[in-house]
Chains A and B, each alone.
Chain A
Amino acid sequence: MKKLIYILIVITGFSCNKIDLNPLDKLSDVNVWNDPSLIQLYVNGNYNSLLHGFQMDILPAAADETYNIHNWGNLRLIQTGEITADNVSGLGSTINYFNFAYGFIRNINIFFSKINTAPGDDAFKAQVKGEMAFLRASLYANLIWRYGGVPLITDVFELNGDVTVNRASYDECVSFIVKELDAAAALLPSDQTAANKGRASASACKALKARVLLYAASKQNNPQHDNAKWKSAADAAEALLNAGYDLNDDYQKTFLADNKEIIFGRFFTQANSTPFNLHQGRNGSDGFGAHNPTQNLVNAYEMKATGKAPYIVAADGTLTLDGSSGYDPANPYVGRDPRFEASILHDGSVWAGRETETWHGGKDSPESPNAGWNASLTSYYLKKFIIENIPPVGSTVRPTNPWIFYRYAEILLNYAEAKFELGDEATARMYLNIVRRRPGVNMPDVTESAEALRKRIQNERRIELVFEGHRFFDVRRWQIAEGKEPTPLLAMNIQKNGSAKTYTISQLISRKFRKANYLVPIPREEIDKSLGSLIQNPDY
């Protein structure tokens, strides 16, 4: 009897468990900051702060480049000028970037608060510090491009600390970004080796700096046309002119594989990719037909022979055929800038083994028996970036072509624009024409000057950099959105009678643009939560 009691007590005593446990599915703070390889992983994770353009909500659908029939990320509110401080929080992080960016900024700030005391040799620390500084600069750049001056946060907020902030001015942010990029460029190799391809390099820092300074010098942020700002922009672009990059011969293939034109990009593997082909594929091939290039964009492609656009677009959007361009409205896709064929699938384009049919009733039209709700409403599909032999569905293969953040053609155009604004039109034309003379493109030289040349520079940017996320910012910094963006989005309607087709341009949706829309509103609840320390953008 007594024995039994003792046994029971002993059993209980021995089995006393520990309740001081550690998680088995997570690493703790101590592990991470004492191990360079884990620090490297931490840095890796923060590369996802760079928004690539193979997502579902991409900037072309917030500009006049594409119409997303599925309205992914609700970006159409930008196109229709209906964006408010309330509904902006329903948009994807491409536009509603505020919290997305500051989440990563906190990560990077934590990194900087820990890295100096962490183990690891100087070379390692220099590399990761350079990478993280670049990433943070890139986040701030994307913030100011959307919102104007934002709070410059470099410290780590604690849970119960003071959380009030002040928005720094646009120029303060620019100098911060430039300073950070200069420092990062000094820590990083000019280009990464193959094994480290994808990591930030000094060239990436310089390319970002060039764009930041170009935007900072533009009308929106430099209404007084301070030439010093344009000078900085030109210098920053010039720094990359003879850095070993060059235009790739084939425009279309520039986006399908690594090449000498890429200054900095994001690469993909089968396991780490997006179903971009599925999203953009024609409905007739079981794609989602998401981003439909607009007729407005198609009209901006010049004629190969004359270098002239088919239409003269009035301020209210009215189209007047420019007979001297050589454009035939009955054969609208003939004789266009080769970059049109390289970027846009139109009716008749042969793609993945068959002709594209966007005429009403055709396989890729809304009247198609094949998922008509996935059909283009503009009669165009996206072709740029798309690898032809990966079908939208029915394949486990995903596209792995890189997303290019910075490429040489942009640097050339940045340089041309800055030089033009500094009054050096000859240099501006020269660099503009270098872009146009790409072997696979070979468009006639631009010869205009003054305001006409500015328009050519702007249109060249629109065409060359189409769908790469530039247009949304360009129309804002040039302050031409009020004039151009409110023109309705246009679609092509193609009727087929026997073998004859007729082409009619029609309005797809009307648009509005308020002055406030030059900037993106900060979500109302963020203003509320800041206890008034964060000031909303004007007119929201």
Chain B
Amino acid sequence: MLKIALSKAPGWVQHGVTPVPDKEQGCASVKTHEDSTLLVSSPDKVERHRTDWSKLLLPMKLTIMLLTAFVMNASAKVSSQTVSLSCKQYALESVFQSVEKQTGLIFIYKEATLKGALPVTIDAKNISVERFLKQVFASQPLGFDIKGQYILVYPNPPANKASSATRRTALLQDTSILRGTVVDEKGGPIDNASIIVAGTQSGTSTGTDGSFALNVPDGTRSTTIQVSSIGYQSTTLRVNSDRLIRITLEHSASDLDEAIVVGYGRQKKATLTGAVAEVKGSEILRSPNTNVANSLQGRLPGVIMNNRSGEPGKDNPSINIRGRSTTGNNSALVIIDGVEREGLGAINPNDIESISVLKDASAAIYGARAANGVILVTTKRGLANATPTINFSYDAGATGPTRNPKMADSYTFFNVYNEIEQGEGRPARYSAQELQKFNEGIEPGYANFNWYNFMVKDWTMQHRSNLSVSGGGERTKYYLSFGEVGQDGQYKIGSTKIKQYNLRSNIDVKVTDIISVGMNLAARFDNNHYPYRNMNELNSHIYLYQPNWVPYWPGTDKVTPNRDNDNIINWVSDANGYQETKITTLQTTLFGKIEIPFIKGLSLYGSGSFDPNVISSKTWQLPTYVYYKDANSGELVKGRSGKGPNNPDLLARNDLGSRLYLTSRLNYDRKFGSHTLGLMMAYEQQTTNGNYLVAYRSDFVSTALPEIFAGSSDKNKQGNDGSATQGARKNYFGRISYNYGEKYLAEVTIRRDGSPNFPASNRWGTFPGVSAGYVISKESFFNQIQFVSNLKIRASYGVMGNDLINPFQYLQTFSYGNNYVIGNNDVNGLVQTGAPNPNITWETAKTSNLGLDASLWNGKLDMTFELFKTTRSNILTKRAAVIPGYTGLVLPDENIGIVENEGLELMLSHANRVGELRYNISGNFAYAKNRVVFSDEQPAAEPYQFATGRPIGAGLYYKAIGVFKDQADIDKNPHFINARPGDLKYEDVNGDKEINSLDRIRINETATPQITYAFNANFQYKNFDFSFLLQGQANARVSFGEYFPVMSYSLGNFLAWRANDRWTPQNTDASMPRASYELFNNNTNSSTQWLIDASFLKLRNVQLGYNLPNRLISKMKMKKLRVYISGSNLLVLADKMKDLGFDPETTDYWYYPPQRVINVGVTVTF
């Protein structure tokens, strides 16, 4: 109810709101009613919001099928509202209130008008508003006029229509005051909402009844205002001529009307029936990682990500959607702007509108590639009728290792040396005095040097800049951006340098009212420079370098000869040569959409994408030099190191690849009263091609030109190679979605996929999906339950496939290899690549999901709960454990495995405001447990060794139960045939008094965590904002094998953790086994001793930002100027690998640690 009490207001006005879409057209945030066509300028836009995203292009026969099936009466019915009221002698005002409550309509009148009103007595049941009001007003000295949502009340009798129009006109002349109310979806007033005239400081806020009055620039006919309130989505809208408006704000915490990107379209959260996690581009930008994928950690519930390495350009995290469901390939399908594409991590984060993850049967629309889940990336586009927005951002930061391994010091190292010698029956190599010198680490030759401290920088610079322009007119929309990233490696004198340039142009053109076309173009250029020795070689050497070695001869800058008479200082710079990779990637899509005339809601969409890429790489090796001390003169003489060739050599490789992807979709989206129907039929195909050429020459006489021609002309010092691949896919798919009043929701999808990876007989697969939802809160009885604004249950079931295998395994193939020398010539050999499996086909995943969405107390508490179960069968794996070796079969993949994966996800969020502090906090928790139902198993294994019934990858480990104190301890316990005092004591699990492989047990925890959780909080106080993200995982263990347990000087240095409390003849009550000369012995077996708990809680991200006040920046013609400081991977709050100096996310022990980033940045919007 809006009473106009101001004396200045001479009459009434109707509202005239033009929704300003703040995103892709059709996503207007302002609610309008279907039957208010008179007053709302573009209702179609709202109604059509699905059609814009469900565009189709299809061969003729599909078109005809669809046309005949779905040509229907398309006229929309005017929905009528009814009123029931029984009262005696009610004040007219109370009657108005009652009507307002029942219908959502609003009475508008001058206070004075009701002065002469009479009390009302009426008994009405379900009669139309109009009839009801006629009865009520019959005895009143008043008249009324229903205009859309508003009922104008005026003194009786109006002369005629023209006179009321005159009155309105009169009001319009006072253009300086804008009045209205701000309400929520249910029509309830929102108090303290802020209304600001865009681009000015002029603003106000609403009262407890949601009403406001705002001074707007006089004489301005069109004003844009921004309305916002905590817990609601902010909206920007343009007010044309009208000066009385009603603004509906949507809850933001639940984002119910927000459209989420799903497979081949968008869907309102309110009508979503699948389990879809989404993260907005703005969220991603909070994390300052150069690799976008690493910014997603903790932000997508149920998506398990671990950053195993921090090496620039090679730091893609492992991504498991809902854990692991297959022993085969686990990688999710990545769709970038509708096309299967590589490069999730390399997208310019500023370009990302949103990233959605389809976790359940909602992915079934992607058929044979969907079983591992689908990640959908959508990039930004321009807005129609929007003034150009220029956005510039720059941030610079420092990255540093989260942790470096803690290695043993010289004193420990040489004590261990002596222990090994004495253990082998040889005299100690170092005297007590020498050990003391190592302990002091001062005297030359007795250094105690920390190679990690020396080689690895604490902080390395990185920066990122981005410039974008977006906007649009009536017919065109554009988003153009350029981004640049630069990053250095972690080594102090290193030459690692990563440069990346991203370019994007997303254009939409509305050619006619029914035809629109567009083009997406993304170009990326990567220029990655690494030293010749790769990260593994380099880091393993830093790890293993003895602590008594030093980099330079004392007092000089001349490098010493260390391992292999070389020095890793030579390896981090270009002294040893380099590896350079230049990658040019283009992702292009041309698309068009036609709204088929005469059949409302039918549209045809077609697109063609062509993604070529070129990788040009060069491996340039140079001889390295060190300084040797001349034995006689004592002088330092430069000489060749002990590694590599005497002359430079070069390997150059060019890879060409391309993907052609065509799709056409026919969409039909209509609303018939409360029935909303969506139909889609589509066809898709893709072809991929790739080939490479590689050339090699050695013995370059000069380093001036590292190009192939400049190498040796001797044919024996040249080499070349090359090959090619091709692939294709063909798909037919369709979808029917239906909802009744957004209360009952249902969706059915089906897809038929053909893949050349499989033999003709098994090539085609059909993948159906079905889901349904029920929005209980839409039921009328729920009107009573005020604190629940949304309550929805949903369920889905789908069948999906996984075809990620080596192609052509159904054919017997041969490849060149196994060369031999005949007649002094190196001749080709031909080897079988494996036994063919003529029955090979895709894996099948049957996934069901049960979900609950609730929004309570107006967004104060939002909740989503998911329960899922996936049964993966036909898992492609090799029957290596059951096919005997004497068959000689090189095994192909076979469809044999079955795995079940089940779990739950819970997301809670809370948004509120205390005074001027606005905040929202959210938490998510996910649990996923997989279980092998069938795998190839050796039949004779002990029952506890069966992999069946256990998680994928659950390894076999000896159970370490201590360390043998002495020979007597060995003699009285079961032991290995060659056990020695100080060896690990293993449990005799099968009780046969012998320790052998049958005593290994399976451990149910693997490197893939079963539990992941995150806690996210955002605060806003005046112009400050602050956010942080905590993330953790549990029920994960990493087995460090190979060289990790080795403690032998013959290998090199070892972890201090390994040496602490090691067994020695003096320390027999040890927890760690003895040192040994042999690298591998009983102690290095895979055992629980080396299986480390990988659970952790990390402070993943913190950001503090400040928006400069408008009054300052508007002078500089800026709309926004924000400065911020942010950090990523800042702290490990709790974990079990601290003593090792390992980041708990790593699975490798001589690793390039995940990086901690501290960043400052600025964003300017013009």
Contact = CB atoms under 8 A, between A and B. Distances in A.
A220 interface: no
A8 B888 contact: no
A268 B821 CA distance: 6
A349 interface: no
Interface in B1060-1090: 1078-1080
Nearest to B976: A82
A150 to B, nearest CB: 8
Interface of B: 57-60, 63, 424-425, 514-515, 561, 563-565, 592, 594, 597, 604, 606, 608, 623, 640, 642-647, 649, 660, 662, 664, 683, 685-687, 691, 698-699, 716-717, 719, 723-730, 754-756, 760, 763, 807-808, 811-833, 835-837, 881-892, 894, 938-941, 977-978, 996-997, 1049-1050, 1078-1080
Contacts of B808: 22-23, 26
B1080 A74 contact: yes
24 contacts: A4-B594, A11-B608, A12-B662, A12-B683, A15-B685, A19-B728, A25-B723, A26-B814, A38-B830, A41-B827, A44-B820, A45-B830, A71-B1078, A102-B885, A103-B888, A195-B823, A267-B824, A270-B716, A286-B565, A371-B565, A373-B1050, A396-B646, A507-B425, A529-B881
A196 B814 contact: no
A196 B823 CA distance: 5
Interface string A59-97: 000000000010100101000101011100010000000
A123 interface: no
B1049 A12 contact: no
Contacts of A500: none
A46 B829 contact: yes
B830 A19 contact: no
Contacts of A19: 728-730, 754-756, 763
Given A84-B977, A528-B940, A395 B821 contact: no
Contacts of B820: 44-45, 47-48, 198, 266, 272
A193 B822 CA distance: 10
B425 A28 contact: no
Interface stretch (A104-112, A207-215, A409-417, A461-469): A104-112
Interface in A383-429: 393-396
Given A44-B822, A272-B826, A23 B807 contact: yes
Interface stretch (A157-165, A242-250, A298-306, A308-316): A157-165
Given A12-B606, A107-B888, 18 more contacts: A16-B730, A17-B685, A17-B686, A41-B828, A45-B830, A47-B822, A102-B888, A107-B832, A159-B835, A159-B889, A196-B822, A267-B824, A269-B826, A393-B564, A393-B643, A394-B645, A509-B424, A534-B884
Given A159-B835, A373-B1049, A286 B816 contact: no
Nearest to B760: A20
Given A8-B606, A48-B820, A272-B820, A395 B829 contact: no
A159 B892 contact: yes
Contacts of A153: 886, 888
For the complex of A and B, list the 3 residue pairs with the smallest distance between their C-beta atoms, beginning with the closest: A106-B888, A45-B829, A99-B885
B830 A41 contact: yes
Given A45-B830, A198-B821, A8 B687 contact: no
A271 B815 contact: no
Contacts of B887: 102, 106, 157, 163
Contacts of A527: 940
Contacts of A449: none
A28 B59 contact: no
Contacts of B883: 159, 163, 529
A525 interface: yes
Contacts of A269: 821, 824-826
B939 A531 contact: yes
Given A26-B813, A270-B716, A15 B662 contact: yes
Given A4-B515, A110-B832, A272 B819 contact: yes
A267 B821 contact: yes
Interface string A495-536: 000000000000101000000000000011111111110100
A228 interface: no
Nearest to A99: B885
B813 A371 contact: no
Contacts of A47: 820, 822, 829
B642 A393 contact: yes
A190 interface: no
Contacts of A150: 886
A45 B594 contact: no
A8 B592 contact: yes
A234 B60 CA distance: 85
B938 A529 contact: yes
Nearest to B60: A9
A28 B811 contact: yes
A74 B664 CA distance: 60
Interface of A: 1, 4-5, 8-9, 11-13, 15-29, 31-32, 38, 41-42, 44-48, 69, 71, 74, 76, 80, 82, 84-86, 90, 98-99, 102-107, 109-110, 150-151, 153, 157-159, 163, 165, 193-199, 266-272, 286, 370-371, 373, 393-396, 507, 509, 523-532, 534
Nearest to A393: B642
Nearest to A100: B885
Contacts of B812: 28-29
B813 A27 contact: yes
A394 B642 CA distance: 6
Contact of A17 (B687, B717, B719): B687
A526 B885 contact: yes
Given A27-B815, A86-B997, A268-B821, A528 B977 contact: no
A197 B886 contact: no
B885 A529 contact: yes
Contacts of A532: 940
B413 to A, nearest CB: 13
Contact of A23 (B514, B763, B811, B997): B811
A418 to B, nearest CB: 32
Given A194-B823, A267-B824, A26 B643 contact: no
Contacts of B938: 525, 528-529
A396 B699 contact: yes
A151 B886 contact: yes
A38 B815 CA distance: 11
Nearest to B723: A25
Nearest to A258: B824
A25 B60 contact: no
B830 A42 contact: yes
Nearest to A12: B664
A27 B594 contact: no
A109 B836 CA distance: 16
B813 A82 contact: no
A530 B807 contact: no
Contacts of A71: 1078-1080
Given A25-B725, A98-B886, A272 B1050 contact: no
Contacts of B819: 44-45, 271-272
Given A84-B977, A528-B941, A157 B643 contact: no
Nearest to A13: B59
A106 B608 CA distance: 48
Contacts of A22: 808
A227 B726 CA distance: 64
A530 B884 contact: yes
Given A106-B889, A157-B887, A526-B886, A5 B594 contact: yes
B1161 to A, nearest CB: 44
Contacts of A195: 822-823
Nearest to B421: A366
A76 B978 CA distance: 12
Contacts of B822: 44, 47, 195-199, 267
Contacts of B882: 529
A281 B977 CA distance: 34
Contacts of B643: 393
